[in-house]
Amino acid sequence: QVQVVESGGGSVQAGGSLKLSCAASGFTFSRYCMGWFRQAPGKEPEEVASIHPDAGTRYADSVKGRLTISRDNAENTLYLQMNSLQPEDTAMYYCARARWPGGRSCPVNRGDFGAWGQGTQVAVSS
């Protein structure tokens, strides 16, 4: 069945780095938009970044220049390189697959992503 499993979270000090991974299985990874989302306590989930099958990317304004999304289609793995982390980046991070393959661009609505993982916690201290 469709499955995505996140890993790589942890606790770092402000200015530090982490690299999250998302291992995908049960579907043709290379055909789907993939996204990273995060949810901080008491806040709504927000999209952090997404990547199209053609490797085109989209980022939230708050993370541009600090976080980089990438994918390895041969390994069915999605990545999020996180640099210059700040306390406001503290959240549970989830990866998700778009509900449908292809498309000219990745979905803009969170509801159009499905197959969510269990998440990996990122904590940034000041």
Residues 43-96 have pLDDT tens digits of: 999 999 999 999 999 999 999 999 999 999 999 999 999 999 999 999 999 999
Query: How far is it, in rounded angstroms, from Cα 111 to Cα 126?
Result: 33
Q: Looking at the predicted structure, is the pLDDT value of residue 22 above 90?
A: yes
User: Residue 102: what pLDDT?
Assistant: 85
Q: Which pLDDT value is given to residue 104?
A: 92
The token pair at 80 is: 């999020």
Q: What is the dihedral of CA 110, 111, 116, 121, to 10 degrees?
A: 40
Residue in this structure with the two tokens 């000090």, named with its chain if needed = 13
Q: What is the pLDDT of residue 99?
A: 96
DSSP 54: T
pLDDT at 103 over 90: no
Total residue count of the chain as it appears in this document: 126
User: Whose structure tokens read 């938009």?
Assistant: 33
The C-alpha atoms of residue 117 and residue 126 are separated, in whole angstroms, by: 28
Residue 114: predicted pLDDT: 87
- Please give the single-letter amino acid code of residue 8: G
Encoded amino acid at 43, one letter? K
